[in-house]
A and B are shown apart, each in its own frame.
Chain A
């Protein structure tokens, strides 16, 4: 199968959905001739023209709300944040406006808008261009959150997000945008709410989000050398969440490590941990361990790595569980 970069997978998903439905359009900062800051929209302006792909002024709140309005009118906007960190400037639009219009209108309106936001560390870009933002949005009824880790999942899930009739926050990881992975030429979609077993195992379940899936894979390799069999689960979408898949794995292994790049306190790991404790407590053979970033505004440059979870912290945690 052909291999393409994550950013190209994002571009293809947008291109195919724009071809499929003339109501789909793309806005954001530098999405037109520049093709987005990380190339996720390369060529779309040339292909679809300035009525379907156009730049917005530096006005995150204004243009996400613009998307909300256009969506209520029957359009299907893809709204790009240049960096996910900037989403705080559009917090109201993403959390308070898009996801709530349906209920507040008694089911008459809906906001089929996809907000794409590149997040995550890896560039040493300091505390306002490096964060993972998913946990900030966990408390908004009506919102869906997608967080893929591979080009294949990214393309299939983005296509579904664009077709979804609700507001979807689609978080792509900046450090993964240049990685390559198998993506078929043929069209496919992946439903929201289906997690994935990335690696089978029996001794411990590692639930990893986005870039940490790769750290977990390296950790599992190392653990295997010591005879420890780790299962890795990538939830892929946080809302809806595949609780069933998580439950089945916990029942099998009885031990859980949850790892994500966002800070540990209040991170999505806390939610997963609570779901497991509420529903599968009897299957647990050890306390759940959560791993997240240090409670530090991510520093500029090289020291960034000292704050983030990695293969070593995962290996160490698993070993603690198996003591």
Chain B
């Protein structure tokens, strides 16, 4: 193992923070306190935390709508939660919610509501970084369902042609809403599509946070030299597509079986092997929960957008030099 016990505890804390954050969201959804649709990534924490930890200081990330565990570790928890609750002091003044969240400061590019459209956008951003001679790359996350979009093909092909500094990270959780991967494509590993674009592709165990981090680090190093690639991380979606989805299309036995491969339990096992104690892990739980509770309390006290802030046309148009835009 290349990591010290403390480093591993650090990853563990992030995995736990990702899961507890979404469990908190789930509680809010169940209490009817949240508007909009919520797509939870419980079970996929290792894939997301692995990505977040692989990013270099100058690198950018394009998350998906199912990326709260990653966001809860990349962003400021209070500002993130304010955005989640649609407050004026959120990252995007409450206009994005986690469905469209972005932040220049945090090098986070917008989550896209139109599956696939964000892929060529990420390529455009990556190309611009290269033109400006920045030593940086973009990690563009997409789900297995999105890989069927035409924009994904177009975007990956353009990335290859332009030698764009980008890594396409496919978080394959097995399901596009109710459609299993086996019914979305004839291929076994989605990363094999890379052959079609003349770039490397690799499929890894998405429930192993260390493997994800290390694979992404290597892919990013290559990307920064203008060599894009695809990394597919296989994981599993524990919840329904959105909160409220009864998920009756899944075989209950298979579902139970898949959930046994829990990324947190896996790391726990390694940690015990390294001499970690129950007390250490319990302390992490307390710390994380406290942080999350504080963030939600902060967000709840934060102001909702006013009518004036909502109908602010300066937020719609950057340049208004005359004529009637309305």
Q: Which residues of A contact B (CB under 8 A)?
A: 51, 56-57, 59, 61-63, 65-75, 77, 92-93, 96-97, 101-110, 112, 141-142, 144, 164-166, 191-194, 237, 239-244
Indicate with 1 or 0, residue by residue over B7-47, a CB within 8 angstroms of chain A CB atoms.
Answer: 00000000000000000000000000000000000000000
Task: Say whether, besides A65-B121, A104-B95, A165 and B325 are in contact (CB < 8 Å).
Answer: no
Once bound together, how far apart are the Cα atoms of A75 and B93, in whole Å?
25
With a CB–CB cut-off of 8 A, which chain B residues contact A77?
124
B315 near A106 (CB under 8 angstroms)?
yes
B318 near A73 (CB under 8 angstroms)?
no
Task: Say whether, besides A59-B154, A92-B114, A104 and B125 are in contact (CB < 8 Å).
Answer: no
Q: Which of B129-181 contact A (CB under 8 A)?
A: 129, 131-132, 150-151, 153-155, 157-158, 161
Task: Say whether, besides A61-B151, A102-B318, A240-B324, A108 and B102 are in contact (CB < 8 Å).
Answer: yes
29 pairs, CB–CB < 8 Å, chain A vs chain B: A61-B150, A62-B151, A62-B153, A65-B154, A69-B124, A69-B125, A72-B109, A72-B124, A72-B125, A73-B125, A74-B128, A74-B132, A75-B128, A97-B112, A104-B110, A105-B102, A105-B110, A108-B103, A108-B104, A109-B104, A110-B318, A142-B316, A142-B317, A164-B318, A166-B319, A192-B321, A192-B322, A240-B323, A242-B323
B155 near A192 (CB under 8 angstroms)?
no
Q: Which of B100, B131, B154, B325 contacts A62 (CB 8 A)?
A: B154
With a CB–CB cut-off of 8 A, which chain B residues contact A166?
317-319
Once bound together, how far apart are the Cα atoms of A66 and B100, in whole Å?
18
Once bound together, how far apart are the Cα atoms of A146 and B154, in whole Å?
28
A192 near B323 (CB under 8 angstroms)?
yes
With a CB–CB cut-off of 8 A, which chain A residues contact B124?
65-73, 75, 77
Q: Which of B70-112 contact A (CB under 8 A)?
A: 90-96, 100, 102-104, 109-110, 112
Task: Say whether, besides A57-B161, A70-B128, A62 and B120 are in contact (CB < 8 Å).
Answer: yes
Q: Known contacts A51-B131, A92-B117, A242-B324; can you find 16 more A-B pairs with CB under 8 A?
A: A57-B157, A62-B150, A69-B128, A72-B124, A75-B128, A93-B117, A97-B114, A103-B315, A106-B93, A107-B93, A108-B102, A144-B325, A191-B321, A240-B323, A240-B324, A244-B324
With a CB–CB cut-off of 8 A, which chain A residues contact B317?
102, 142, 144, 166
A68 near B121 (CB under 8 angstroms)?
yes
Name, among A70, A101, A142, A237, the residue most crowded by chain B CB atoms within 10 Å (CB to CB): A70
10 shortest interchain CB distances as A-B pairs: A193-B323, A62-B154, A69-B124, A240-B323, A73-B128, A106-B93, A165-B318, A69-B121, A106-B92, A65-B120
B122 at the interface (CB under 8 A from A): yes
A63 near B151 (CB under 8 angstroms)?
no
B230 at the interface (CB under 8 A from A): no
| Distance (whole angstroms) from the CB of B86 to the closest CB of chain A | 11
A65 near B131 (CB under 8 angstroms)?
no
Once bound together, how far apart are the Cα atoms of A69 and B12, in whole Å?
34
Once bound together, how far apart are the Cα atoms of A63 and B114, in whole Å?
16
B314 at the interface (CB under 8 A from A): yes
Once bound together, how far apart are the Cα atoms of A107 and B321, in whole Å?
17
With a CB–CB cut-off of 8 A, which chain A residues contact B94?
106
B104 near A65 (CB under 8 angstroms)?
no
| Distance (whole angstroms) from the CB of B229 to the closest CB of chain A | 18
| Distance (whole angstroms) from the CB of A268 to the closest CB of chain B | 14
Which residue of chain A has the shortest Cβ distance to B62 in the bound complex?
A69
Q: Which of A93, A109, A191 contacts B102 (CB 8 A)?
A: A109
Q: Which residues of B contact A (CB under 8 A)?
A: 90-96, 100, 102-104, 109-110, 112, 114, 117-129, 131-132, 150-151, 153-155, 157-158, 161, 312, 314-325
Once bound together, how far apart are the Cα atoms of A92 and B118, in whole Å?
11
B324 near A243 (CB under 8 angstroms)?
yes
With a CB–CB cut-off of 8 A, which chain A residues contact B151?
61-62, 65
Q: Which of B118, B157, B314, B323 contacts A59 (CB 8 A)?
A: B157
With a CB–CB cut-off of 8 A, which chain A residues contact B132?
73-74
A62 near B323 (CB under 8 angstroms)?
no
Task: Say whether, besides A103-B315, A104-B110, A73 and B129 are in contact (CB < 8 Å).
Answer: yes
With a CB–CB cut-off of 8 A, which chain A residues contact B122?
69
Task: Say whether, besides A62-B157, A101-B110, A107 and B123 are in contact (CB < 8 Å).
Answer: no
Once bound together, how far apart are the Cα atoms of A166 and B93, in whole Å?
20
Once bound together, how far apart are the Cα atoms of A72 and B153, in whole Å?
21
With a CB–CB cut-off of 8 A, which chain B residues contact A142?
316-317
Which residue of chain A has the shortest Cβ distance to B99 in the bound complex?
A104
Once bound together, how far apart are the Cα atoms of A62 and B150, in whole Å?
8
A237 near B121 (CB under 8 angstroms)?
no
Once bound together, how far apart are the Cα atoms of A103 and B132, in whole Å?
26
Once bound together, how far apart are the Cα atoms of A148 and B104, in whole Å?
36
With a CB–CB cut-off of 8 A, which chain A residues contact B112?
97
Once bound together, how far apart are the Cα atoms of A194 and B323, in whole Å?
6
